[in-house]
Amino acid sequence: MPPLTVHLVSHTHWDREWYRTAGEFRLSLTDLVDEVLDLDVAPHFLLDGQAIVLEDYLAVRPKRADALRSALHAGRVEAGPWYVLGDNLIPGGEALIRNLLAGRALLAQLGAAPPAVLYCPDSFGHPAALPRIGHGFGATLCVVWRGYGGPPWPAGDSARWRDRDGSEILLYHLPPDGYETGANLPPDAAGARAAWERFRTILAPRATLGLALLPNGADHHAVQARRAEALRALAHAAAPHPVVDSTLHAFADALGTRAASYALPVVSGELRQSPAYVWSLQGTFGSRTRQKRENAIVERLLLRHTEPLAALAWWHDGRSRRHLVQGLWRSLLRCHPHDTLCGCSIDAVARAMDQRLDEVQRAASVLAHRARRERLGDDPAAARAHRRVAPGRRRLERLPAHAGRHCRVGRRRAARARRGRPGVGGWCPVVVETAAVAAGRRLDRGAGTLARGAACARGVAAPLSAQRTRAAPPRPCLDAGHRRHGDACRAAPRGSIARGATRAPRHLQRRRARERSLPGQRKCGRWPLHRDGGRRPVAGRPVARGGRRPR
């Protein structure tokens, strides 16, 4: 049997939020990264293949950006290529691409290059298109655990994963214990010999290419105490099999070099079934389904509405909105970690996800609306200029089509004003709301103003001084029960502002009608019969047909 070369990679699997919130885990993350940066003996440390941990750390320790940049450039710290270590099946394919793009952009800001490895140590299955996506980003290796292994998959730890279009990527499968296989290495010689016997039993039968990855870490683990002593003890116990203090990038290069001259088995399709090897946790598809549905809605909103409209608006006015769209995508991607989107976290995490989804949906809708208006050449300032009305006045204007659409109008503008069809150069029946309408007043039925003169021919409303008001003859008030109206109500012209100002809202009219129904009155249908036997209407109620009292 040829010697087995073991690449030991120290790492942490950092669930950003799970049994604690992201803010609570950030406290431990700050201590972890501080420890890695302050160690005298510089180890190689993998921050779980996601770049958002760097963003979270710098949000608390912005003054250590230079130290972190130096560690990334020297290879002491590895992160990425993902922005978040998210689920691979629930988000859409475009969301996976945006995840990789956001991770590469964040690493580029810190002067680091993303590793050519799709590191997916704990995703609950993988889509069939992942080889194509990884090939497009220049990745040469994909490291997986769940969803692969056992029948009907090949028995070895290495294979070629091929998509339908012919794109393929080298696939490495973690041992049954996953990313925790090499956690807590013993520093003493006896413990190291026992640990190596266990590792050799697990790794050697699966090593198709004579190489094995030994992850030294676990969930939210810091750098192992006495790591250098434990590594020396393990290397001494494993002789003549070499144990290398390595990185994920170095392991990918070594595996690719050996795979180039070896006929590996080819697999295709989704990786989501591994019942005889490790749980793939497909039951999480039914957990917190409302959040999964909301996530899909927000994804479609960004892809099919906000981004296309923002691109059209940029083509129209030359102003890029790319930074706004990318910010919305980063906020949405923070909902995609497997413990968050799969709904297997505490309720506080679910509430935080609801808030993020709501914020992204609202902001994306506003951005799409603004881009649509700017693409159509809308001018809100011009629309507001046509909407200026003196207090207590209403008018019917001839407005340009682009201004008429944005005036705030009443619900029954055509019925209460005049019949007409808005159009360019034509009369637009726009009843402009005033403070009286906003306060719940009834719209003026009979009064209206028409802008005349040369200004109308140009499609611009004339000033109020040039407008002519059509007055109506006075009429008595129909509401005889309102004794307090008196002569002022009878003297008011039909549809005048004075009458509209004195008329009470409908709920007050109904209350006063009930108060007038005293024991000495009889009711006939909906009309109260007063002591003199006369039928008198109640404001806001329909007119009863017929004069006979129903029996």
Cα gap 77→97, rounded to integer Å: 24
Cα gap 128→334, rounded to integer Å: 23
Query: Do 294 and 341 touch, CB atoms closer than 8 A?
Result: no
**CA 506 to chain centroid:** 43
Cα gap 363→99, rounded to integer Å: 20
Q: What are phi and psi of 10, to 5 degrees?
A: -80, 135
Strands, DSSP E only, in 234-363? 243-245, 266-268
Cα gap 47→53, rounded to integer Å: 7
Residue 388: its pLDDT value, please? 55
Three-class SS of residue 529?
strand
Query: Do 105 and 70 touch, CB atoms closer than 8 A?
Result: no
Cα gap 214→182, rounded to integer Å: 6
Strands 522-524 and 527-529: antiparallel
Closest CA to 209 of 29, 396, 3: 3
Structure confidence by residue, pLDDT tens digits, 328-345: 999 999 999 999 999 999
DSSP state of 303: I
Closest CA to 395 of 431, 363, 438: 431
Cα gap 11→248, rounded to integer Å: 10
Closest CA to 213 of 326, 327, 121, 337: 121
Residue 453: its pLDDT value, please? 36
Q: Find tokens 């998959």 and name the residue.
A: 153
The tokens describing 294, both together, are 């909301």
Residue 513: its pLDDT value, please? 79
The tokens describing 288, both together, are 């917190």
Cα gap 156→149, rounded to integer Å: 9
Torsion of CA 97, 100, 102, 103, to 10 degrees: 170
Distance in Å from the first CA to the final CA of the chain: 108
What domains sit in the chain, N to C, each tagged with a CATH number? 5-280 (3.20.110.10), 286-375 (1.20.1270.50), 512-551 (no CATH)
Residue 482: its pLDDT value, please? 46
Rounded to a whole number of angstroms, the CA Rg of the chain reads 37
Residues of the chain with pLDDT below 50 are 389-501, 520-551
Beta-bridge partner residues of 11: 46
